[in-house]
Amino acid sequence: MYQVALTMIPQIGPVQSKILLQHCDVEEIFHAKRSFLERLEGIGSVRAEAICSFRDFAEAEDEIRFIEKNDIQPLFITDKQYPRRLLNCYDSPTLLYYKGQADLNAEKIVAIIGTRKNTDQGRQLVDKLVEELSAHSVMVVSGLAFGIDSLAHRAAVKNGLRTVAVVAHGLDQLYPPENQGLCRDMLHANGGILTEFKSGVKPDRHNFPSRNRLVAGMSDATIVVETDIKGGSMITADLANGYNLDVFAYPGRVNDIKSAGCNELIRTNRAQLVTDTKHILQAMGWLVNPSAKKTVQKQLFVELSPEETRLVDLLKENNGIHTDELNSRSGLSNGQFANAIINLELANVIVSLPGKMYRLA
């Protein structure tokens, strides 16, 4: 109840929630003294008053009844199932609402986005891209909008890839409603639907940029297929750049308005030019050389320090793990952890992935 209530306090957004959670548990926030809250940098007197005067726990209880009734999983920012890649974003949501089976911490995740009014070429590019990604078990994230988003979701289902739709409203509704059937297919194929908005929140225009930051932040890379010079896809690409994540864009003809945004992203070095799926796989380090992998596996038996052995053992248990979780579970000091990570990387025993993830080489 306190986790849900925290998201309902006026003037307390994701950034302020992180500040509060650094100093106390979520329940303690609601019982903290005003004087203590006022002294926290980024909180101040106005926000402290908003916290201390909050009494609308009945609304939080209503939301809990809704999610229990509809088999929705709440994901608090400290939960293990919370999308770990989002933790690298300064404005990661405090609480997410999730319906589905797809692993939000899958080893490889890409966002495929673009215009709502795609061309036939755009459809062909999406179909070819997703079909070729299917050989590498890449999860597909998009925004469920008409056009490229819906094509990406459908292609993922067709090719046996799990796909997650991130929506800009509560899960008591679906926008656009014409995609009800698509969502059923996605859920049936062990995909999912994700949002940061509680039930009753409508798909208002100002919610979509917030939605777009989740699409970008929870993915290793964002792939723009077709887009005009303005629109949600350009916002998502810029957000991904701001999070230091890879962005790829398909080029188009100079007089094609549906490719104007992609061409601009490439021209301004905000996206890597891609004409073949292999370009993406190579850039992301997802093309594995079998002979090189065998060589590295032999190196696992070369002399390792106790600290290095501890990290390798953890990665054997959970290959593809965020650096913060790996550090926490290792029990090493920050200095020991940093030295061990560097030595393992230099020895090609582990590889660094986008989003501060590590896996065995």
Q: What is the DSSP letter of 198?
A: P
- Which of the listed residues 284, 302, 334 is the one where a domain comes to its end? 284
Residues 295, 268: one domain? no
Q: Do 218 and 355 reside in the same domain of the chain? A: no
Same domain, 344 and 260: no
**CATH at 53:** 1.10.150
Whichever domain contains 126, its CATH number is: 3.40.50.450
**Mean pLDDT, to the nearest integer, of 313-340?**
81
CATH number at residue 309: 1.10.10.10
- For the chain, the C-alpha Rg in angstroms (whole number) is 22
- Kindly state whether residues 184 and 239 are assigned to the same domain: yes
160-184: per-residue pLDDT in tens? 999 999 999 999 999 999 999 999 9
Euclidean distance between CA atoms 326 and 318, whole angstroms? 9
Are residues 216 and 260 located together in one domain of the fold?
yes
Q: Are 24 and 105 in the same domain? A: no
Instruction: Clarify whether residues 271 and 294 are in a common domain.
Output: no
Supply the range of the domain harboring residue 318: 290-360
Q: CA-based angle 106:110:116, to the nearest 5? A: 135
Residue 145 within any structural domain of the chain: yes
In a domain, 298, yes or no: yes
pLDDT digits (tens, 9 = 90+) for 112-135: 999 999 999 999 999 999 999 999
pLDDT band of residue 240 (cuts 50, 70, 90) is: very high
Instruction: Kindly state whether residue 319 falls inside one of the protein's structural domains.
Output: yes
Asked whether residue 272 is assigned to any structural domain, the reply reads yes
The total domain count for the chain is 3
**Domain C-terminal end among 269, 284, 299:** 284
pTM (two decimals): 0.79
Q: Looking at the domain assignment, is residue 78 inside a domain?
A: no
Residue 88 has pLDDT above 50, yes or no: yes
Handedness of CA 127, 128, 134, 138 (dihedral sign): negative
